[in-house]
Amino acid sequence: MLLFGYVHNNFVNLSLISQFYIQQKQQSQLKQAMDESMKRSNDAQQAKKSLETRQQQDSNVLEQLKAIITEKETKIKSLELEVCQLRTVAVCRLII
């Protein structure tokens, strides 16, 4: 009977140790999964931030290009008007 109690206690101890080991392993796996999830989340946030920055830069460049085009179009119209005036003056001089 004493031997049975000893064996039973050892079995219970082994069972508790086994449960503890399983819990530790599960906690370790859970922590690893959470760490990986956090890393992916951080990577996604950085990628999003990088994309937003790039989009803002592209938008700024687009606005600068629009301003340059408007400036050049205005200059072209001014030159066309000047050419027209010079032709008018030239024609008038030929007539006189």
pTM here is 0.57
Per-residue confidence band for 8, with pLDDT thresholds at 50, 70 and 90: low
Length of the chain: 96
Each domain of the chain, given as residue ranges in start order, spans: 1-68
pLDDT computed for residue 95 by the predictor: 78
Alpha-carbon dihedral 47, 51, 57, 62, rounded to 10 degrees: 170
pLDDT computed for residue 1 by the predictor: 52
Q: What is the distance between the alpha carbons of residues 24 and 30, in angstroms, rounded to a whole number?
A: 10
pLDDT tens figures, 20-78: 999 999 999 999 999 999 999 999 999 999 999 999 999 999 999 999 999 999 999 99
Q: What is the distance between the alpha carbons of residues 24 and 52, in angstroms, rounded to a whole number?
A: 42
Q: How many helices (H) and strands (E) does the chain have?
A: 1, 0
pLDDT computed for residue 43 by the predictor: 97
